[in-house]
């Protein structure tokens, strides 16, 4: 579809993205300058709590943001170097449908209850690859088999409700991968699943990603999922990326007080201390984001400057890491 | 955390508790089957102790909590509170015992009445049980608000004006109002953000130490359960498959399901050793027609013919460590080494 590109062009590059929601007279800044990039064969985890703007970022990247009330007010998203916002809607849809796969949190609501598994999966091959009915069905069976659904030949005549939760998520993954995308974006793909099934699905995603060499963006709130799957991490808070780094660095020497607080607050299944160290206060209400650094009311290191000056994402370690904290250097020294 | 010795009778004693839900169909609402939600569960909880109950969706852990509270009547079995059998008491006779047992629900959004102020919600149990004068009750509510870390001026606010973490504090204050001995916590932190979960877990631990509360702590998050519990029961399809102190469970699980469950937890450490991880195949079977014999045999890497037919009893295989698995019939067998070369 396009020219071969230089290897250093990232697959997906989100630059200074701003999204707001306008509801009657209120304006809610959901995404407030988000930057990240994903390369081929890489897993980027976007880590954030509710209201961090991670799901809105996901919807914007995939072009499924409901508008109104959502409006993109700034920034750019480039896929293989091509500015998605500059493309006409039709072309954008064709490009995204063919090259970007999406996986939702709740597989049941991502599937159509009145069509069989086979119909829904074959449709991907017919629409995006232009295959005929029989060929599409053959590919659908192969794909179901690929994602580990036993008896694929028979199961394609089932309806989604006849599948268990884990199998539905496998089906959704099969649909996301059907057109042979280069990038897959998954929003909390295992949150609705049980622990033993979660482990299966994470392994499947990792295996598929490695075998197909796709870029994977995994949106999650779970430190465990991040540690299990990610190569790099972008931590979001209050509609911004506050820290980004390679996964080991995030866990070993977090460069933002929020990341640090998150790590301290999770009970570690490997060792127990009597008290957890929570982050005080509440995550910000996006309609009333605190001035300056959005994290300052909860931050143990906050100084005067944090209350009025918004910290920029500053790059260090040869541009491999970034932190949006005025005092990241001091913080790093005290690790 | 102190160990609990069985010197006196336990606070709560549950024996062979069963709760089946009939499945009705057709014009005459014939019963065509039964959901075996809780299928013969026995355990006890001592004063000041936390018993964690873990298991995946559909294992019956929430039904267990509700049946103990008599929010639903058990199909059979007994529930004893301080030695008194409360299973078949009439609603009136049950009332004084209800004060002793309270519940904190998972979802702080749907479990608080949106039309009542927070102060009214917390004070309602006092009104229902006719405790004190209006003035006493107001003072009690104010002290409860303070104790759970809610601002005093928030008593006049409505639930929607609070954040998720604060709502859960309201739920906890309400559960504390009548000075209960036992609080059943049904997934109390799983709807909360990670950074807020720790606040609520710490609060629950503090309250336990201050008031000598016992908790039945139901959750699917093993890390949280490990943090808060003294002993842990692992449930699978309505039955307890393993019951022991948390240290034994987390260092040496004896049931293959516990082993798989522990090994499946995503570890928040990218450098953790993930070799030898047990990944089960398939999903939890339906509790409508649970597998014969040991419910877990369909997913168990060690299952033998016997597991398909005989139900293993929950037995003590080493002091304080109960497990229901035929593997340990001839005494404890460790490690649970799976047959060589067989991938899971």
Helix axes A117-129, A89-99, angle to 10 degrees: 120
Q: How far apart are CA B257 and CA A196, in angstroms?
A: 10
A279/B contact by beta carbon, under 8 A: yes
Q: Does the residue B344 lie in any domain?
A: no
- Tokens standing for B209? 């130490």
Alpha carbon B239 to chain centroid, angstroms: 13
Q: Does the residue A126 lie in any domain?
A: no
Q: Does the residue A142 lie in any domain?
A: no
Domain of residue A194 covers 12-112+181-333
Interface of B with A in 45-64 (CB under 8 A): 56-57
Q: How far apart are CA A117 and CA A112, in angstroms?
A: 9
- Percent of all residues in chain B with a pLDDT value above 90, rounded to a whole number: 60
- Tokens standing for B272? 């953790």
pLDDT computed for residue A179 by the predictor: 87
Nearest C-alpha of chain B: how many angstroms from A36?
Answer: 21
Q: Does the residue A161 lie in any domain?
A: no
Query: A253-295, pLDDT tens digit by residue?
Result: 999 999 999 988 888 655 555 678 888 888 888 788 889 999 9
Q: Are A280 and B196 in contact (CB under 8 A)?
A: no
Q: What is the DSSP string of B180-239?
A: -SEEEEESTTTTS-HHHHHHHHHHHHHHHHHHT-EEEEEES-HHHHHHH-SEEEEEETTE
Q: Are A149 and A121 in contact (CB under 8 A)?
A: no
Q: Does the residue B251 lie in any domain?
A: yes
Separation of first and last alpha carbons in chain A? 48
pLDDT computed for residue B158 by the predictor: 93
B154/A contact by beta carbon, under 8 A: no
A271/B contact by beta carbon, under 8 A: no
pLDDT computed for residue A284 by the predictor: 86
Interface of A with B in 214-243 (CB under 8 A): 221-228, 230
Number of structural domains chain B divides into? 1
Q: Mark A261-288 as b/e (b = at least 16 C-beta within 10 Å).
A: bbbebbbbbeebeeebebbeebbbebee
Q: How far apart are CA B166 and CA B173, in angstroms?
A: 10
A165/B contact by beta carbon, under 8 A: yes
B277/A contact by beta carbon, under 8 A: yes
Is 60 exceeded by the pLDDT of residue A84?
A: yes
Number of structural domains chain A divides into? 1
Q: Are A295 and A277 in contact (CB under 8 A)?
A: no
pLDDT computed for residue A273 by the predictor: 57
Nearest CA in chain A to B166: A282
B229/A contact by beta carbon, under 8 A: no
Its pTM stands at 0.85
Domain of residue B134 covers 47-74+88-264+276-328
- Tokens standing for B304? 């033998």
A206-219 mean pLDDT: 90
pLDDT computed for residue B333 by the predictor: 66
Q: Does the residue B31 lie in any domain?
A: no
Q: How far apart are CA A223 and CA A260, in angstroms?
A: 12
CATH of the domain at B175: 3.40.50.300
pLDDT computed for residue A164 by the predictor: 81
Q: Are B246 and B234 in contact (CB under 8 A)?
A: no
Nearest C-alpha of chain A: how many angstroms from B213?
Answer: 17
Query: A236-256, pLDDT tens digit by residue?
Result: 999 999 999 999 999 999 999
Q: Does the residue A64 lie in any domain?
A: yes
Q: How far apart are CA A166 and CA B292, in angstroms?
A: 23
- State residue A129 phi and psi, 5-degree precision: -110, -5
Q: How far apart are CA B150 and CA B169, in angstroms?
A: 7
Strands (E), B60-117: 76-81, 84-85, 101-104
Closest C-alpha to B106, from B224, B243, B7, B13: B224
pLDDT computed for residue B337 by the predictor: 52
pLDDT computed for residue B336 by the predictor: 64
On chain A, the residues whose CB falls within 8 A of the CB of B263 are 199
Q: Does the residue B14 lie in any domain?
A: no
B194/A contact by beta carbon, under 8 A: yes
Q: Does the residue A123 lie in any domain?
A: no
Closest C-alpha to A72, from A12, A37, A14, A20: A20
Check CB contact under 8 Å for B201 and A224. no
Q: Which residues of chain B have pLDDT under 50?
A: 1-6, 338-344
For an interface test with A, give the residue of B194, B231, B234, B262 to mutate (most A CBs within 10 A). Answer: B194
CATH of the domain at A307: 3.40.50.300
The mean of the pLDDT values for chain A is: 87
Q: Does the residue A166 lie in any domain?
A: no
Banded pLDDT at A108 (limits 50, 70, 90): confident
pLDDT computed for residue B335 by the predictor: 60
Nearest by CB to B195, which of A199, A261, A272?
A: A261
Q: Does the residue A297 lie in any domain?
A: yes
Query: A296-317, pLDDT tens digit by residue?
Result: 999 999 999 999 999 998 999 8
A34-59 mean pLDDT: 89
Q: Does the residue B200 lie in any domain?
A: yes
State the DSSP H helix or E strand holding residue B44, giving kind and residue range, or none if neither. strand B30-45
Check CB contact under 8 Å for A274 and B205. yes
pLDDT computed for residue A318 by the predictor: 87
């Amino acid at each position: 579809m396009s020219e071969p590109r230089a290897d250093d062009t990232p697959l997906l590059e989100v630059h200074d993205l701003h999204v707001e929601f306008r509801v009657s007279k209120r304006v809610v800044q959901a995404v407030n300058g988000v930057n990240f990039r994903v390369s081929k064969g890489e897993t980027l985890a976007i880590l954030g709590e509710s209201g961090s703007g991670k799901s809105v970022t996901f919807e914007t990247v995939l072009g499924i943001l409901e508008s109104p009330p959502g409006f993109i007010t700034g920034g750019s998203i480039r896929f293989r170097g091509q500015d998605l916002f500059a493309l006409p809607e039709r072309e954008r849809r064709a490009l995204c449908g063919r090259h970007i796969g999406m996986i939702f949190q709740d597989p049941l609501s991502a599937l159509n209850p009145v069509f069989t598994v086979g119909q829904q999966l074959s449709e991907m091959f017919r629409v995006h690859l232009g295959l005929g009915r029989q060929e599409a069905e053959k590919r659908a069976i192969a794909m179901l088999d690929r994602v580990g659904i036993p008896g694929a030949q028979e199961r394609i005549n089932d309806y989604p409700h006849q599948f268990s939760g884990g199998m539905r998520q496998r089906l959704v993954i099969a649909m996301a991968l059907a057109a042979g995308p280069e990038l897959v974006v998954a929003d909390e793909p295992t949150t609705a699943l049980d622990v033993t099934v979660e482990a299966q699905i994470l392994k499947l995603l990792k295996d598929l990603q490695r075998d197909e060499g796709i870029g994977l963006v995994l949106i999650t709130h779970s430190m465990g999922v991040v540690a299990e799957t990610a190569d790099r991490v972008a931590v979001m808070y209050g509609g911004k990326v506050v820290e980004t780094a390679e996964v080991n660095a995030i866990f070993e020497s977090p460069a933002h007080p929020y990341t640090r607080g998150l790590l301290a607050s999770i009970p570690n299944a490997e060792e127990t201390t009597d008290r957890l160290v929570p982050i005080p206060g509440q995550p910000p209400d996006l309609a009333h984001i605190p001035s300056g650094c959005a994290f300052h009311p909860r931050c143990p290191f906050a100084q005067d400057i944090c209350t009025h000056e918004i910290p920029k994402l500053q790059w260090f370690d040869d541009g491999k890491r970034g932190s949006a904290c005025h005092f990241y250097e001091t913080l790093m020294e005290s690790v | 955390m102190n160990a609990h010795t069985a010197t006196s009778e336990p606070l709560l004693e549950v024996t062979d508790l069963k709760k089946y839900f009939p499945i009705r169909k057709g014009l005459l609402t014939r019963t065509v089957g039964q959901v075996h939600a809780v299928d013969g569960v026995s355990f006890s909880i001592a004063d000041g102790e936390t018993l964690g109950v873990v298991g995946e969706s559909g294992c019956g852990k929430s039904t267990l909590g509700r049946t103990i509270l008599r929010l639903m009547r058990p199909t059979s079995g007994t529930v004893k509170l301080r030695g008194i059998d409360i299973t078949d008491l009439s609603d009136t006779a049950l009332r004084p015992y209800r004060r002793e047992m309270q519940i904190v629900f998972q979802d702080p959004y749907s479990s608080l009445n949106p039309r009542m102020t927070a102060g009214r919600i917390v004070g309602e149990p006092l009104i229902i049980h006719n405790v004190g004068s209006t003035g006493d009750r107001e003072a009690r509510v104010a002290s409860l608000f303070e104790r759970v870390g809610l601002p005093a001026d928030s008593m006049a606010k409505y639930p929607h004006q609070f954040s998720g973490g604060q709502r859960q504090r309201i739920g906890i204050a309400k559960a504390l109002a009548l000075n209960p001995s036992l609080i059943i916590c049904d997934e109390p932190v799983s709807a909360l953000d990670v950074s807020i979960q720790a606040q609520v877990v710490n609060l629950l631990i503090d309250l336990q130490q201050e008031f000598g509360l016992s908790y039945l702590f139901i959750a699917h998050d093993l890390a949280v359960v490990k943090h808060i519990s003294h002993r842990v029961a692992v449930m699978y399809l309505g039955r307890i498959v393993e019951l022991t102190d948390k240290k034994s469970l987390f260092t040496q699980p004896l049931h293959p399901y516990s082993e798989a469950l522990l090994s499946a937890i995503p570890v928040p450490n990218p450098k953790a050793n993930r070799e030898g991880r047990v990944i089960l195949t398939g999903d939890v079977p339906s509790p409508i027609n649970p597998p014969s014999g040991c419910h877990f045999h369909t997913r168990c890497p060690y299952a033998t013919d016997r597991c398909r037919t005989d139900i293993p009893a929950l037995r003590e295989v080493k002091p304080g460590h109960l497990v229901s698995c035929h593997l340990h019939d001839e005494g404890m067998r460790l490690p649970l080494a799976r047959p060589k070369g067989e991938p899971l």
